[in-house]
Amino acid sequence: MTAVDFRPPGFENNDQKPIGYGRMLRKEDARFIRGKGRYVDDVRLPGMLHLAILRSPLAHARIVRIDTSAAEAHPKVKAVVTGAMLAERGLAWMPTLAGDVQAVLATDKVRFQGQEVAFVVAEDRYAARDALELIDVEYEPLDPVIDVRRALAPDAPVIRTDLEGKTDNHIFDWETGDAEETERAFASADVVVSQDIVYPRVHPAPLETCGAVADYDRVSGKLTLWSTTQAPHAHRTLYALVAGLPEHKIRVIAPDIGGGFGGKVPIYPGYVCAIVGSMLTGRPVKWVEDRSENLISTGFARDYIMRGEIAATRDGKILAIRTHVLADHGAFNAQAAPSKYPAGFFGVFTGSYDLQAAYAKVTAVYTNKAPGGVAYACSFRITEAVYLVERIVDRLADELGMDPVELRLKNLLKPEQFPYKTKTGWVYDSGNYEPTLRKAMEIAGYHELRKEQAERRARGELMGIGVSFFTEAVGAGPRKHMDILGLGMNDGCELRVHPTGKAVLRLSVQTQGQGHETTFAQIVAEELGIPPDDIEVVHGDTDQTPFGLGTYGSRSTPVSGAAAALVARRIRDKAKIIASGMLEVSVADLEWRKGAFHVKGDPTRAVTIQDIAMRAHGAGDLPEGLEGGLDAQICYNPENLTYPHGAYICVVDIDPGTAKVKVRRFVAVDDCGTRINPMIIEGQVHGGLADGVGMALMEMIAFDEDGNCLGASFMDYLLPTALEVPDWETGYTVTPSPHHPIGAKGIGESATVGSPPAIVNAVVDALKPFGIRHVDMPLTPSRVWEAMQGRPQPPI
């Protein structure tokens, strides 16, 4: 028999292919690089129709009348659906991940510009768009609530008149920490610094927008839905609850996804419309939003207006931090966060420091804007928490006349303090912070940079050095505390080893480019000694994969990665028993060496995992009580989150004539514990750092006073190109997570979380000669120029 190599040309010599952890080129590249990826808009089914959505031009208005007759008369149109029609079927509203409801199609009134009002199903995508123009909607404009600071005024118009008894725009108040203890710490402090800080509304803007193909089979009653979802299983359950379809008759398929960044966690009205469209027409229906629709209507990120306060002794011991936050959640509370955490994990705002006390209060309100809040690699609001603490620590350093690095070194948690319980109740698993910061300083040449800065400053040049040190909290989460709409945040893994020793690993998490097909194979390879190319990783099909909550919050490695290691160990345990039968020795006499069991003291008497797999499926007796086959399944309930950390240093130059900020250097040292694939980790970090440059310098979803969205296209919503970012300089330290089976922590969002404060700190540092203490993002030339003229303005 001749061996057949199924690897495509160029992949046969994937030389750096460890059996286990290490740099390994990606398996998934083979298709993407040839244009053979299969994204939602690539799905084409016989008889497929196309759906387009009519959206509100106004931020707040009563719907007086909708006339769809002209659209219905269009020769290529198969269906026109309004909110009233959905209401008849009980589908006009759907639950959100935050336990609120959101209109699928507006019935009574529209509540943000871009809101879904009606949809058309037609024979092609051009005709569907044409027909939207033929729908006539009469609106009665209402006063919009745009400025979140005015949303709670007694005379503010009430947005959510649909909620019974609702007479204001207040969503919730949430508190953490100890207010009185914090008060006392502040009273005893030598120095108190207070700073208003806005984290403006931005958008994850994955390059592929959201979309779906719904195929409802009237004969079998089965719905198949291809969709851009980061959480296919959770979506399936929600569709069962919304549409009333039995869950076993729903198959959600997340094919290749062109980036998610949290933007593909919620269920959007478009998905529901596609399902309804398919049920109505009996044909497959495709919906793919365009970029403007993506930016104007899908989940935004941030929009936290924070007052941060920090108390310290004169010699720089930080005593306490407190903060009040006003959170703009838009018209519906659709924030994707664990049920018991309405402000996400903002409670980790105490950062990497040993404090005496801390307190935070978050007040969330409705405004006439699109819903969202948790997205864009935020790890459930940790972007906001880290930005707050790293900005106010820098403000304190300035106030004390201390070097920002020295202030941090003085206050960082010490390795012997871990596991460390923060004043807001989070138990950091492990950390060795100082070496991480020292390493970043070494790579950057920190002290030389300060010298250079002094020289340049003397010449009137504007150079800034910014530091941030962050602790992340990722891997939600323990089911005792964490659920999404009642679904515990556990993740499954199923591993089947075939007779010839090849394997299939089925995941409940869903890659959107993070390389799961490669790294999860590496985890199993490390545990079982099966080459990673012999392990097929399957994800994104709810009919084929075990239940779990999906990929976001950097939770894949902490939760599903743990499951993959443990399921492989379960296989190994069984393999050991089979091996004992094959070698005719007791289990206690066997020793595992990656890929084989051998008799202790005699390495020549050995059976490989492949031999064992054949035996497990083959003829002949197995040891007493053992079933045939070599499969296992697991559902992993993490005992805690993982807490990766990092030290970032940014160097900027500002053109004194134009106020343009140039990020000259960026050093990122991350510690995510055990590193499964360093190449992929670096790529994750690079991408997140570019996000940081975007948010700090360019990106913002703004609104005018009428509620018109001013960031609704790539002409206005500016993303970094190759020109705005430098070559990234990365480094790492390794502090494994003690509770994780392979000591690995999440990493995906660290750079997005950690980089904005480093950049803003650098810009503020550069502007010190102007007496500037703070400038809010995005630090566009005009905003920096205004600040240089003594007129720093908040962005909203």
CB of 730 to another protein, least distance (A): 9
Residue placing its CB nearer to another protein in the complex, 144 or 778: 778
Helices 382-400 & 750-766, crossing angle to 10 degrees?
30
Contact between 28 and another protein by CB under 8 A: the answer reads yes
Contact between 42 and another protein by CB under 8 A: the answer reads yes
Contact between 686 and another protein by CB under 8 A: the answer reads yes
Contact between 722 and another protein by CB under 8 A: the answer reads yes
> What one-character-per-residue DSSP string does 489-556 give?
--EEEEEEE-TTS-EEEEESS--SSS-HHHHHHHHHHHHH---GGGEEEE-SBTTTS--B--S-TT-I
Contact between 714 and another protein by CB under 8 A: the answer reads yes
Beta carbons within 10 angstroms of residue 126's beta carbon: 12
Contact between 727 and another protein by CB under 8 A: the answer reads yes
CB of 93 to another protein, least distance (A): 29
Size of the site for another protein (CB under 8 A): 63
Beta carbons within 10 angstroms of residue 34's beta carbon: 10
CB of 207 to another protein, least distance (A): 4
- The secondary structure of the chain in percent helix, strand, coil, rounded to multiples of 5, reads 30, 25, 45
Whether 335 and 362 have beta carbons less than 8 Å apart is answered as no
Residue placing its CB nearer to another protein in the complex, 107 or 730: 730
Element holding 718 (H helix, E strand): none
List CB contacts of 782: < 8 A, sequence separation 6 or more: 659
Map tokens 């690079």 to a residue: 686
Among 5, 34, 173, 658, binds another protein (CB under 8 A): 34
User: Which residues in the 289-318 window bind another protein by CB under 8 A?
Assistant: 290-292
Among 5, 8, 419, 628, binds another protein (CB under 8 A): 8
Please name every residue paired with 211 in a beta bridge, in sequence order, or none if there are none: 288
The rounded distance, in Å, linking the Cα atoms of 14 and 722 is 28
**Residue 367 φ then ψ, to 5°:** -140, 170
CB of 395 to another protein, least distance (A): 28
CB of 445 to another protein, least distance (A): 20
Please name every residue paired with 44 in a beta bridge, in sequence order, or none if there are none: none
Binding mask 166-205 vs another protein (x if CB under 8 A, - otherwise)? Answer: ---------------------------------------x
Pick from 503, 493, 508, 504: nearest CA to 539: 508
Contact between 588 and another protein by CB under 8 A: the answer reads no
Residue placing its CB nearer to another protein in the complex, 478 or 781: 781
Whether 783 and 772 have beta carbons less than 8 Å apart is answered as no
Whether 214 and 270 have beta carbons less than 8 Å apart is answered as no
Among 257, 267, 392, 509, binds another protein (CB under 8 A): 257
Binding mask 498-537 vs another protein (x if CB under 8 A, - otherwise)? Answer: --------------xxxx----------------------
Residue placing its CB nearer to another protein in the complex, 256 or 394: 256
CB of 260 to another protein, least distance (A): 8
Contact between 551 and another protein by CB under 8 A: the answer reads no
Element holding 326 (H helix, E strand): strand 318-328
- Going by their DSSP bridges, the two strands 93-95 and 101-103 should be labelled as antiparallel
CB of 352 to another protein, least distance (A): 24
Binding mask 116-145 vs another protein (x if CB under 8 A, - otherwise)? Answer: --------xxx-------------------
The rounded distance, in Å, linking the Cα atoms of 379 and 205 is 17
User: Which residues in the 430-469 window bind another protein by CB under 8 A?
Assistant: none
Distances in whole angstroms, Cα of residue 467 to Cα of each of 308, 441, 661, 759: 18, 9, 16, 8
Using CB atoms within 10 Å of the CB of residue 11, give its burial: 0 to 12 exposed, 13 to 18 middle, 19+ buried.
Answer: middle
Contact between 710 and another protein by CB under 8 A: the answer reads no
The CA-based angle 253-257-259, given to 5 degrees, is: 145
Among 1, 3, 4, 44, binds another protein (CB under 8 A): 44
Among 100, 494, 653, 682, binds another protein (CB under 8 A): 682
Contact between 360 and another protein by CB under 8 A: the answer reads no
Contact between 240 and another protein by CB under 8 A: the answer reads no
Binding mask 258-277 vs another protein (x if CB under 8 A, - otherwise)? Answer: xx-x----------------
Judged by CB under 8 A, the stretch of 82-90, 560-568, 687-695, 702-710 that binds another protein is 687-695
Whether 696 and 777 have beta carbons less than 8 Å apart is answered as yes
Pick from 308, 749, 668, 301: nearest CA to 467: 668
CB of 232 to another protein, least distance (A): 16
Contact between 36 and another protein by CB under 8 A: the answer reads yes
Residues at the contact surface with another protein, assessed by CB under 8 A? 8-11, 25-26, 28-39, 41-42, 44, 124-126, 205-209, 256-259, 261, 290-292, 512-515, 679-680, 682-690, 713-715, 719-723, 725, 727-728
